[in-house]
Structure 1
Amino acid sequence: MAALTKKQKLEKIMGSFELFAKNFIYITDTKNQKVKFNLNSAQIELDELIENNRFVVVNKARKAGVSTYMLAAALWRCCTRENESILIVSYKTDSSKYLFETLKKMNMWLPRDQYPDLFPETKRDSRDELLFENGSRVVCAVAGNKEIARGFSPTWTHLSEFAHYANQEKQLLSVEQALIDNGKLTIETTSNGTNNHYYKLFMSAYKGNSKYKPYFIPFYHELYKEQNRNQHDEAEEWFKANNKGNRLREKDLEPDEKILFEKGANLRFLMWRRYKLLDMTLQEFYQEYPSNPMESFISTGQSVFDQSKVLERLNYILEPLSTNEVYSQLPDVLKLYINRGLYIYKLPKKGIKMFGGVDTASGSGGDYSTVTIFDNEGEQVLSFYHNKVPVYLFAEIVDTIGKWCNYAYLAIERNNLGLPLIERLRKDYEYMNLLKQKVFDQKGKKKLQLGWTTTNTSKSIMISDFKEQFERGFINLHCKETLQQMQIFQEVDGKMNNKKGEGNHDDLIVAAALACQAMKQNKYYVDIA
């Protein structure tokens, strides 16, 4: 094969961002030295994802080099295409200024003297815009209360540290509408808790329910091997000094470390992790150095549930049984909802007592009507959640679920819409296996009433019991949605609720906590022998 000519080599380099960066882009490294920009493995993976998708959202650990990649890619597009309009948005003035100055350095360091006809000349270099003679330009902006892209039609928009923007949903809508046909939009950020639009956006993408393609960079990604080499060396020396000169071995790993090891964290990463945990809590480590997206969203301050235990449980949950595995065994009433609101983790075994909790909503599309069922060993058998089921239909669903699960003993919250649900179950369906709560009337006479009445005091008791059962391992949750609600459940001023925000709910927590009260009473008013 004949060797490439100089012209052919340059055409090949200009046609590939990775080669362009390696040959023509210079950056400053951690020692403030000017060096050529060789893409790390995460940047290469991200480049391929962006090349093949219009909308990409990136969640990352610290210092992953995503912003550097974006700036270099923007410069490459401007140098190789006419009339590119690229918008780079940051969440505050300082960070915007830093990004733009970095971009200007990259442009200034292009070898124009060596290749005078290869790169377009800079026509305008202002405080927030680079304009090139081929009509391409890069504009830097700061996210604020005004719509970001008004009067601008970008071919590519990049939103940096999006989780820290104010008015996230409004800003994102503005940017999406401003894009030209087939324009690209990328979002990259470290997480900022769960009470914001970014959390909802990323989790929808992560679940495959969005036009956005998700990309996550864990703390043990290949790129950090070289970047954190000195820290890893220091951690290894510390470990050996405290373990008779021995390095960490696979057989020495703790259960949570074994999971990380199986996912790709090598032993040097795990020694470094132990070293870091000398000076920070596990939840603080999750926030700074997540191994999965859910860890990055942890907010430690007011969480009711131990977040490390919630995350550990998320790593081991059973996937719901497939529709084919359960369809023929389900009552007809439930077939419509299988894996579309109804999730079954284990089929009921004949003669086994089961216990459930039920929380009722209106079915208008807001809060969810929920059911959780445990067997007599505390294993979750089933979960149901749906926000468009009216009370009369929910009563039929609860009756059918209960009787299918060996006539489960059900604790139903009787507040608000729970009371008409209880009445329908008793009168229309003659469901007899319901929790009864002891109460006193105004004369001081004790009586039993059907269902669980939730007050501030009884809710605290109910949640406290559920927390203990879960954290001590007496119950085994499989419902991913329940566990995710537990990640945003908090106590503020003595009141326990989900974090406020669109799409945040605690209905499944209530159902599971009620099921624990049913197990606590351990009664059964019907014979299932």
Structure 2
Amino acid sequence: MAAKIKSNNKALQQVMGDFRLFAKNFIKIIDNNGESVPFVLNPEQEQFINEMVKYNIILKGRQIGFTTLSLGYMLWSALTKPDTNYLMMTHHNKVTQSLLRRINKMYQYLPHDKYPELFPKKVISNRDEIYFENGSRIQMATAGGEDSISGNTFELIHLSEMAKYPTEQQEEIIATSIPALAKNPNSKIIIEATAMGFNYYQEMFMKAWRGKESVWKSHFYSWLSKAYSSQFKHSFDEAEVWFKEHNQGRRMSFNDLEHDEKILRDKYKATFRQLMFRRYYIETNSLEKFQREFPTTPNEAFQTSNISVFDTNKVVERLQNVIDPLPTNEIYDEIPDILKPYLNKSLFIYHLPKHGIRMYGGVDVASGNGGNTDNSTCSIFDVEGQQMASFYANDVPVYEYAKVINALGRFFNYAFLCVERNSFGTPLLERLRKEHGYLNLLKSKIFNERGKKRFQLGFQTTNVTKSILISDLKEYFEMNQINIECVQTLEEMKIYIDDNGKMGNKRGSGLHDDLVISVAMSVQAMKQGKYYVEI
């Protein structure tokens, strides 16, 4: 036994009242060598227990031990708190059954004979739940299966590997889980996953990670966490042997490091042992898979594959260095009244305009019907390429959006605007020119059937011109000719892909590319470099 327990009430009460002591003294787990050992929390598990709040969302590398932690925590809670319920949900039925077997084994290894009074007996134990004689219950469920949440009240809900749940069900499961939490200060929900691309889980985590009006507390654990030193000891040993075999029997040194490894060494304090493991894993798999399975940062975890149009590393780097929008109270009195309801909700201003500086903007127009429809977007840059503002909303009708764009453009030194004229763009252009008298608009040169040249307002997007549009944006962004501050724009750029010649956002619920288009329109405005008004 990990710690001697005297059979007196005070010592037992102390152990039973503290999960860490309970785990160390009573719970047995199977380690990587297949041996039954006391459950001593690793540093990351300890950190999470210390930092856990009511709403928790975890992004982590593989096999860091949070499912084991929750199983042990649920068992301890159920045994010590009568009439409480707990739920563990997984992405696959086989995983669900495996976890049920693990928690049953934890219960089996408890010292029932020595302390029979401490551990309530099981009354029901089947493929879905364990029910104890003290009235507490631990349920196991699979996402996409029968509804195990509605109508129940839980002290703790753990949604394991949520990123693997059916994409269309992730949001609904969250919406059902929150009302099912027990109405007391001790109830908690834990969402935990390794990254699996772009989905509702990714949106939730990144919003929490950035601290943008989220009730969720984000917890991120990279592959450089201390737990891996012991958890992956065998793999680390294998990697070191492999490296020595290919380097005249010597270990890795600074002179062996490649550029990205030097960054990991200098910025993130990676050890040579960790870097040998990384190189070994990449050799047997791929860099993309390593970054997903063993991320260094959250942005790296959610990177897309090499079909991304924009250099993902540059997008991630920019995301790590964006500035926050100006606070509402600092600029509320400065902006036109029509823009005030949108400020820091749909409209984000990063810099106020300076007198006499030319501004360039791009505008994409949607129906404004709300729901799951596209956004109407606007992105504004100054003549040097610094982003000044961004706007995106899907519930602003075209007639109202024309008022917004008119006010926004005039506020930013009567910005030269490039409007995509496809679909709803045409009526917006007509309203801007005829109703609001907005003169500083991009014009495109076209020829009619007789070969006569004429100009039309806005930019017409076709299969041919879209390729040029995106190519120009890619060049401006990757050559640092524009500085994007809008996080949502950069997130859209991460999922903007070239799928066999068809460019657009990666398909999925809630995924858009409208801000990408408005920034691309801004680049076209900057390329023309015209101004039809005096400022």
State TM-score, norm by structure 2. Answer: 0.87
Alignment correspondent of 1:525: 532
Q: Secondary structure at the match of 1:401?
A: helix
Q: Mark the CA change 1:86 to 1:169 in structure 2 (over 3 Å): closer, same or farther.
A: same
Alignment correspondent of 1:466: 473
CA RMSD, aligned part only? 3.2
TM-aligned CA deviation for residue 152 of structure 1: 4.8
- CA deviation digits over 1:55-107, x for unaligned, max 9? 32222211110110011111101221212322222222221122111112111
Is structure 2 residue 196 aligned with structure 1 residue 189?
Answer: no
Q: Which moved more, 1:97-106 or 1:199-208?
A: 199-208
Q: In the alignment, is the contact (CA less than 8 A) between 1:85 and 1:155 conserved in 2?
A: yes
Q: Secondary structure at the match of 1:432?
A: coil
- CA deviation digits over 1:328-364, x for unaligned, max 9? 5444444444333322323333333332111123333
Q: Mark the CA change 1:401 to 1:275 in structure 2 (over 3 Å): closer, same or farther.
A: farther
Alignment correspondent of 1:228: 232
Alignment correspondent of 1:31: 33
Which aligned pairs between 1:122-161 and structure 2 lie closer than 5 A? 122-149=122-149, 152-161=152-161
Is structure 2 residue 204 aligned with structure 1 residue 198?
Answer: no
Alignment correspondent of 1:10: 12
Q: In the alignment, is the contact (CA less than 8 A) between 2:6 and 2:12 conserved in 1?
A: no
TM-aligned CA deviation for residue 18 of structure 1: 0.9
Q: Mark the CA change 1:434 to 1:14 in structure 2 (over 3 Å): closer, same or farther.
A: same
Is structure 2 residue 407 aligned with structure 1 residue 400?
Answer: yes
Q: Which moved more, 1:308-317 or 1:353-362?
A: 353-362
Alignment correspondent of 2:447: 440
Q: Mark the CA change 1:113 to 1:208 in structure 2 (over 3 Å): closer, same or farther.
A: farther
In structure 2, distance between residues paired with 1:469 and 1:478: 14
Alignment correspondent of 1:247: 253
Q: Which moved more, 1:469-478 or 1:307-316?
A: 469-478
Q: In the alignment, is the contact (CA less than 8 A) between 2:447 and 2:454 conserved in 1?
A: yes
Alignment correspondent of 1:350: 355
TM-aligned CA deviation for residue 506 of structure 1: 1.5
Is structure 2 residue 342 aligned with structure 1 residue 340?
Answer: no
In structure 1, distance between residues paired with 2:50 and 2:193: 19
Is structure 2 residue 60 aligned with structure 1 residue 57?
Answer: no
**Identity value in percent:** 43
Which aligned pairs between 1:126-525 and structure 2 lie closer than 5 A? 126-149=126-149, 152-166=152-166, 167-182=169-184, 183-194=187-198, 196-206=199-209, 207-229=211-233, 231-232=235-236, 238=243, 241=247, 247-248=253-254, 254=259, 258=263, 262=267, 269=274, 272-273=277-278, 276-278=281-283, 281-300=286-305, 302-327=307-332, 329-365=334-370, 366-492=373-499, 494-525=501-532
Q: Secondary structure at the match of 1:403?
A: helix
Is structure 2 residue 91 aligned with structure 1 residue 91?
Answer: yes
TM-aligned CA deviation for residue 524 of structure 1: 2.7
In structure 2, distance between residues paired with 1:309 and 1:234: 33
Q: Which moved more, 1:334-343 or 1:453-462?
A: 334-343
Q: Which runs of 5+ in 2 are unaligned?
A: none
Q: Secondary structure at the match of 1:343?
A: strand
- CA deviation digits over 1:489-511, x for unaligned, max 9? 23335432223333222111110
TM-aligned CA deviation for residue 369 of structure 1: 2.3
Q: Which moved more, 1:253-262 or 1:201-210?
A: 253-262
Q: Mark the CA change 1:346 to 1:323 in structure 2 (over 3 Å): closer, same or farther.
A: same
Q: Which moved more, 1:121-130 or 1:230-239?
A: 230-239
In structure 1, distance between residues paired with 2:367 and 2:464: 25
TM-aligned CA deviation for residue 486 of structure 1: 1.3
Q: In the alignment, is the contact (CA less than 8 A) between 2:153 and 2:180 conserved in 1?
A: yes
Q: In the alignment, is the contact (CA less than 8 A) between 1:58 and 1:215 conserved in 2?
A: yes
In structure 1, distance between residues paired with 2:499 and 2:422: 22
TM-aligned CA deviation for residue 460 of structure 1: 2.1
Q: Which moved more, 1:468-477 or 1:141-150?
A: 141-150
Q: Which runs of 5+ in 1 are unaligned?
A: none
TM-aligned CA deviation for residue 262 of structure 1: 4.6
Q: In the alignment, is the contact (CA less than 8 A) between 2:195 and 2:293 conserved in 1?
A: no
Q: Secondary structure at the match of 1:313?
A: helix
In structure 2, distance between residues paired with 1:104 and 1:488: 42
In structure 1, distance between residues paired with 2:322 and 2:403: 29
Q: In the alignment, is the contact (CA less than 8 A) between 1:147 and 1:174 conserved in 2?
A: no
Q: Which moved more, 1:132-141 or 1:10-19?
A: 132-141
Question: Which AA in structure 2 matches 1:247?
Answer: S
State TM-score, norm by structure 1. Answer: 0.87
Between Structure 1 and Structure 2, how many residues are aligned? 522
Q: Which moved more, 1:12-21 or 1:57-66?
A: 57-66
Q: Secondary structure at the match of 1:467?
A: helix
TM-aligned CA deviation for residue 479 of structure 1: 0.8
In structure 2, distance between residues paired with 1:471 and 1:376: 18
Question: Which AA in structure 2 matches 1:308?
Answer: N
Q: In the alignment, is the contact (CA less than 8 A) between 2:261 and 2:275 conserved in 1?
A: no
Q: In the alignment, is the contact (CA less than 8 A) between 1:284 and 1:300 conserved in 2?
A: no
Q: In the alignment, is the contact (CA less than 8 A) between 2:59 and 2:192 conserved in 1?
A: yes
Question: Which AA in structure 2 matches 1:484?
Answer: E
TM-aligned CA deviation for residue 230 of structure 1: 5.2
Q: In the alignment, is the contact (CA less than 8 A) between 2:120 and 2:134 conserved in 1?
A: yes
Q: In the alignment, is the contact (CA less than 8 A) between 1:248 and 1:271 conserved in 2?
A: no
Q: Mark the CA change 1:180 to 1:385 in structure 2 (over 3 Å): closer, same or farther.
A: same
TM-aligned CA deviation for residue 184 of structure 1: 3.6
In structure 2, distance between residues paired with 1:172 and 1:330: 37
TM-aligned CA deviation for residue 462 of structure 1: 0.9
In structure 2, distance between residues paired with 1:203 and 1:180: 26
